[in-house]
Each structure stands twice: as C-alpha cells, then as structure tokens.
Structure 1
Amino acid sequence: MTQSASRKVALVTGAARGIGRAIAASLSADYDVAITHRTTTPEALSDGMMAIEADLRDPQSYERIINAVIARYGRLDLIVNNAGIIAGSPVDSFDHDALRANFDVNVLAPHGVLAAALPHLGRGACVIGISSVNAVLPPKGAAMYGASKAALDLWTRAMAKELGPCGIRVNAVAPGAVNIPEAPRDAALTQAFLDMTALGQLAEPSDIADAVSFLASDKARAITGEVLTVSGGYRL
C-alpha cells in the first residue's frame, strides 16, 4: 500500500508492560501505535493505540500481526522488536523447549515480522530491536539467552546492510539492568548490579524508550547497523 500523509504508525512487540509499554507510550506522541501482548492484557490504551494478542513463538502470527496493523492504520513506519524471552541454560541440564523459545522469540520473530511487513515499509522506515548487554557480557547460567541476543545484534547489522539501499534503517538498543516496577529484583541482586554500574544507578524503562525514540527520529537519519548500549556503564 502506498503510504499516505497521515500520522506515522509504529508496531511495538511485547508492550503490555515494562520496557515495551514505556516505548509505546513515548512513541505515541508522534505515532499511532500498535502493540502485541501474550500473557498480560494491556491496560488503559490511549487514543491511537491498538493491542494485538499474539504468541511470537508461532510463525503464523507474523502475517496476522502485520495484516491487523495495516487494516487499522493503512501504513507502517516503525517496528520495535521488544518482545523477548529469558530462559536459564545451566550447563548441566538441557531444556529444549525453553531454549528453543529463546531463539524463536528473540531472533526468529524479528525476522518473521520484518518479512511480513516489508511490502508495507517505504523509504525512511525504521526497525529497532531490543538487545541486551548480555550479547557481549555472557550471563552465568543463561548463556543461550546471551547467544540469542548476540544473534540479534548480528541480524541487526545484516539487515541494515540489506535494507540500506531501500532507505530503511535498522538498529538496536542494548539495555543493562533496568528497574522495572512490575518485576522488582530483591535488594541484594539490585545492589550487586549497582556495584557493577559506573553511574551507580539502574536505568528506567523511560531511558530505553528515549533511546528508541532517538534512533527512530530524523536526528539519527545517518545511523544504521548500530547497537546503542544504555546501561549506566555496566561492567566497564
């Protein structure tokens, strides 16, 4: 579909709460926003927002999500691949289904959503992934999660190279430890993260949202294939 002069449209996956919801709220100032959710029903959607229930482990969901966005808004300008799964992977055990889900949601879903959306993306469109510092700083006991985010980083650079001639930018944001009120850490773990962070404070979901908004904006028009770390200086 040819893009109109109407308000731009963003899709944020996994945005019922936490970082995803902060990203959606921040983008809603400039975009109509569609969000996906699976187990948590989003509350109090603002005008111009829509929610799509979807399990991103299911490859049939990608086309359905994009079709719903286009049916509602008629265009798509920004994809934020925020949905993610963290599954432990201790070296002395193997849970195939849990580890498969890591890669299905963290790597395959971004590619599947992009493939479904590509016919609707014009010059100036953006794709932004939510990676992790664990892509380069291996997490003990969750190596496969880190590996999935490392794969997402490589995919980000590869897609930037492939889609650059189409005028589509592809970047990622890599959070460190983030203070998410809906999923608080215990005091000892929080302090351990603080001790490893140069600024001595955890990022907030709004900090990640600000980075996404920047990468989506014209101020970042010459930036593609990059992973922007937002960690407060974690493990410098």
Structure 2
Amino acid sequence: MCAAALRKSILVTGGGGGIGTGIVAELARDHDVTLHYNSTVPDTDLHCVQGDLSDPDAPTRMINAVLDRFGRIDGIVHNAGDISASPLDVYDRDGYARMFDVNLFAAQGLLAAALPHLKTGATMVNISSVNAYLPPKGAVMYGASKAALDLWTKGAARELGPRGIRVNGVAPGAIDVASSARDDAQKQAFVDMTALGRMGTPGDIAGVVRFLLSDAAAFITGEVLTVSGGYRL
C-alpha cells in the first residue's frame, strides 16, 4: 500500500481571484492553505491574510501569519501579480515600480522571510507568464518583470539546491478567468493562436502547481514550465 502524501502548509499569494482561485481549490483538498488577498475579501472558510505586496513589510507579515496558524511553512506559491500598460511613448515610473514590487521583489521578500523556517523538501512555485519570452505589445514592462522573475527563480534554485529546497515556475498562456475583461472576439483570437484550440483554465495551471509542489517532482528545480496549450507555436 502506498503511503499517504504528507499534508503541507502552503501560502498562495493572489489566491482570491483568477488563476489563484483554481490553485487554492486544488491544494485545499489535502493541504493546509493560507490564502493571501489584497483588496477583495474572499468568501471562504480557509485561513486568509490580507496584504499589499508592493509594501515591503507585507511578505514578512504574511509568512508570520502562516507560522502563527499552522506552526510551519512547507511551500509558497507566488501567484499574485500586477499588470498595467506600458506604451513606449509613456514613462510611468510609479506604475512600473509597483509591477516589479509585486511580480519580482515580493518573491524575494517572501522567500527571505520564510527561509529560516523551510526544511529539506520545501518548495516555491512562481507564476510567471509566456509574456516573459513573448513580449506583449503595449505591455513590455510587464513582460520584463516576468522575465526577471524567471531568472530569479533559476538563481534561487541554484543557491538553495544544497539545502534540498526547490524553486520552480509556471508560465501560463491565455487563461480564461471570470474576472477577465476580454470580449468574445479577443478570446477567439487567443484560441486561434493556441495549438490545442482552446484557452486554458485555472485548473490547467493548478494541476501543474500541485505536481511541482509534490514529491513526484523531487528532482525538478530551476525550471519554468510553459503551460499554454501551444500558444503561438
């Protein structure tokens, strides 16, 4: 008989909407999940913690909230993200700084706060984007922030490998989420650019996140897995 999987304490940032809802629903089936949100209070019985990840003190507060509730932390899924337009004829320094604060610097803050408490086998999964290597027209600063997150993921994996701590990423393609403002024509355009002929779902991403957090992925680190259905092949 196979041994039951270890129940883990996992923090999911940006868990109150979009892809995050799928990740939280998947992991909460058999793990102790702490759901981070910023402005919209989630309707759930799960342990929740509020925080604006552009605030440099927020990551430490969030990790402490996990430890206070569950006494340990075994995994971090950094799903929270900020996106805004960045046309090349505009320079919005504050807007770009917020994107990098949330998309990149928060990953460092969360890991730094958690590191004294992470044991061998602990895992971090960062949600990136295909826009890290397929630059989005009109939003190149967003793509740059995700490209930087990918490099950070690889660097962190290399440094933490000797401790048995894994760091990976997932790069979603076009995902159909309820909160999206895309109209039917925009959605069809994404479908037409995707080899599998459909947009992805939060569940498509959640299943890969579960795998990367699990012992089945014990020899995978420093990777950013593209989960896009063959977007723009």
TM-score by length of 2: 0.96
Aligned 1:11-160 pairs, distance under 5 A: 11-45=11-45, 49-160=46-157
How many Å apart are 1:44 and its aligned residue? 2.4
Matched, 1:171 2:168: yes
How many Å apart are 1:234 and its aligned residue? 0.3
How many Å apart are 1:30 and its aligned residue? 2.3
> What is the Cα-based RMSD across aligned positions, in Å?
1.0
Specify every segment of 5 or more residues in structure 2 that has no aligned partner in the other structure, as ranges.
1-5
Percentage of identical aligned residues: 58
Q: Equivalents in 1 of 2:217, 2:166: separation in Å?
A: 9
Q: Equivalents in 2 of 1:18, 1:142: separation in Å?
A: 19
Q: Are residues 72 and 94 of structure 1, via their aligned partners in 2, closer, same or farther at CA, if it must alter by over 3 Å?
A: same
Aligned length: 228
Matched, 1:220 2:217: yes
TM-score by length of 1: 0.95
Secondary structure, counterpart of 1:199 in structure 2 = coil
Q: Are residues 215 and 7 of structure 1, via their aligned partners in 2, closer, same or farther at CA, if it must alter by over 3 Å?
A: closer
Runs (4+) of structure 1 exceeding 2 A deviation are none
Q: Equivalents in 2 of 1:37, 1:145: separation in Å?
A: 20
Secondary structure, counterpart of 1:92 in structure 2 = coil
Specify every segment of 5 or more residues in structure 1 that has no aligned partner in the other structure, as ranges.
1-5
Secondary structure, counterpart of 1:98 in structure 2 = helix
Secondary structure, counterpart of 1:39 in structure 2 = coil
How many Å apart are 1:184 and its aligned residue? 4.5
How many Å apart are 1:38 and its aligned residue? 0.7
